[in-house]
Amino acid sequence: MSDISYRPGLEGVSAGETAICSIDDGLRYRGYAIEDLAANASFADVAFLLLRGELPSEDDRREFHQELARFAAQTPNEVLEIVHGAPAAAPLMDVIRSGASLLAHWAPDEGGDDDMQTHLRESTRLLAQLPVVLAAAYRGRRGLPRVDADAELPFAENFLTMLHDTKPTERAVQALDVTLILYAEHEFNASTFTARVVCSTLSDVYSSITAAIGALKGPLHGGANERVMALLEEVGSPENAEPWIRNALANKQRIMGFGHRVYKSGDPRADYLAPLCAELAKESGNEHTEEIAGTIERIIRAEKKLPPNLDWPSARIYAYLGLPVELYTPLFVLSRTAGWCAHFMEQRANNRLIRPRSNYVGPGPRTMTSSS
Nearest alpha carbon to residue 326 among 93, 80, 161, 83: 93
> Would you tell me how many other CB atoms lie within 10 Å of the CB of residue 149?
24
Question: Which of 50, 300, 289, 81 has its CA nearest to residue 184?
Answer: 50
| Separation CA 358–CA 356 (nearest Å) | 7
Among residues 45, 177, 267, 311, which one is catalytic? 311
**CB neighbour burial string for 152-180, b if at least 16 within 10 angstroms, e if fewer:** ebbbbbbbbbbbbeeebeeebbebbbbbb
Query: Which of 237, 210, 267 is CA-nearest to residue 79?
Result: 210
Q: Where are the alpha helices (DSSP H) in 10-55?
A: 34-40, 43-52
- Please answer whether residues 208 and 336 qualify as being in contact, where contact means their C-beta atoms are separated by less than 8 angstroms: no
Three-state secondary structure along 230-262? HHHHHHCCHHHHHHHHHHHHHCCCCCCCECCCC
Task: State the catalytic residue, choosing from 260, 267, 271, 343.
Answer: 260
Query: For 128, how many CA atoms within 13 A lie in the half-sphere containing its CB?
Result: 27
Which residues does residue 22 pair with via DSSP β-bridges, in sequence order?
28
260 included as an active-site residue = yes
Residue 359 CA, chain-centre distance (Å), reads 32
Helix (H) or strand (E) holding 32, with range, is strand 32-33
Measure the CA–CA gap between 287 and 283, rounded to whole angstroms.
Answer: 9
Catalytic annotation on 59? no
| C-beta neighbour count of 90 within 10 angstroms | 13
Catalytic site positions: 260, 311
